[in-house]
Structure 1
Amino acid sequence: MVRWAEPVELPGLIGVEVAADGLFQQVGITFPPGTTMIEEADDTSPVLVEGDPPAGFALMGLVDGNLHLEQLAVHPDRMRQGIGGRLIEAVLDHGRASGVPAVTLTTFRDVPWNAPWYERHGFQVWPEASWGPELRELVKRERDLGIEVAPRVAMGATLG
């Protein structure tokens, strides 16, 4: 069941993200040290989780007036059980309830469990010409951090 995270759960989510990020080594992607997103969360208001203890989470923010999915991670031991799909549906539902026009994200273009997976959940690649200033800055920051170690895309799901 997807729910809002409890403050005591935030530290445990770091392990979920690190384990999920380890899967990228299968496709030759290694993240630079210090790039876990959940470590930057200092409150639970933008964090949805599933499981007790959480096996997956979605970290959200606002970018250009849209709900932005900062990170979606599911522990590899619990993958292929629908957790990611339930989390993304909860994110979309939260976006609709919040009245934002879209949910956006950035992801790897060619990794099967990234852009192709999000496309199956209603997201489309957004051309750079359609990006707002905050999304442009976010993509620049990702590049500066060294996260763009393989081709990345910005995607969005229009709500409404």
Structure 2
Amino acid sequence: MQPNYTIRRPTQAELSMLPAIEVAAAQLFLPTQYAFIAAWPPATLEDLAAYFSWDGVWVAVDIHTTPVGFALAKIVDGEVYLSELDVHPEHGQRGLGRGLIKAVAAWGKQQGYRHMSLLTFNDIAWNALFYARLGFRALTAAECGPELTAIAQGHIAAGLPATARVAMLAELDQLLLD
């Protein structure tokens, strides 16, 4: 991660800045077959406040301490689940996504968890391939717990194609390696 950025917990007031980051990051889907995602509404302030109350929000801030990226996580099937990871495209390709994942992994390890799971697209380079380079591996349907399966089914019900989605898992120790 470049030195002009810091990963930290947000203040409650900063939560209101996160939907704009999500909207900007969603624009990256426009040239893909999932362009419809760019029109989806971002997380609500109520949703973000829930993650905040669970201690499940991290932000990447620039030199002016303005949030430019964020991660949301919660506990699913007894392990850390990365619900969302967004970096404003103007600040992309600077290690912020990886830095946010490492912060979530460090928190999870401190809480006594061993793994992190997520759901992502299997056919977009900055999704599954990005996570695979960090140490995530694809899960079979049989390896997914009931809560992760329910989240995946919710994604499909919302319009995401089942064949394009993949559940992934990594050991927190692996994610904390440099």
TM-score by length of 1: 0.92
Offset of 1:5 from its aligned partner? 1.1
1:114 equivalent to 2:121? Answer no
Counting only pairs closer than 5 Å after superposition, residues 1-160 of structure 1 correspond to structure 2 as: 1-29=6-34, 30-31=36-37, 34-37=40-43, 39=45, 40-43=47-50, 44=52, 45-51=55-61, 52-148=65-161, 151-159=164-172
Contact 2:29 2:38 in 1 (8 A): no
- Select the structure that is richer in helix: 2
Structure 1 unmatched ranges of 5 or more = none
Q: Secondary structure at the match of 1:100?
A: coil
Contact 1:5 1:48 in 2 (8 A): yes
Deviations 1:2-43 (A, max 9, x none): 111111111110000011011011212122855534642214
Identity among equivalent pairs (%):
35
Deviates more, 1:23-32 or 1:68-77: 23-32
Structure 1 runs of 4+ off > 4 angstroms? 32-35
Higher-Rg member (1/2): 2
Give the distance between the partners of 2:68 and 2:38, measured in 1 at CA.
23
Point out which structure has higher relative CO (alpha carbons under 8 A, 6+ apart). 1
Q: Secondary structure at the match of 1:105?
A: strand
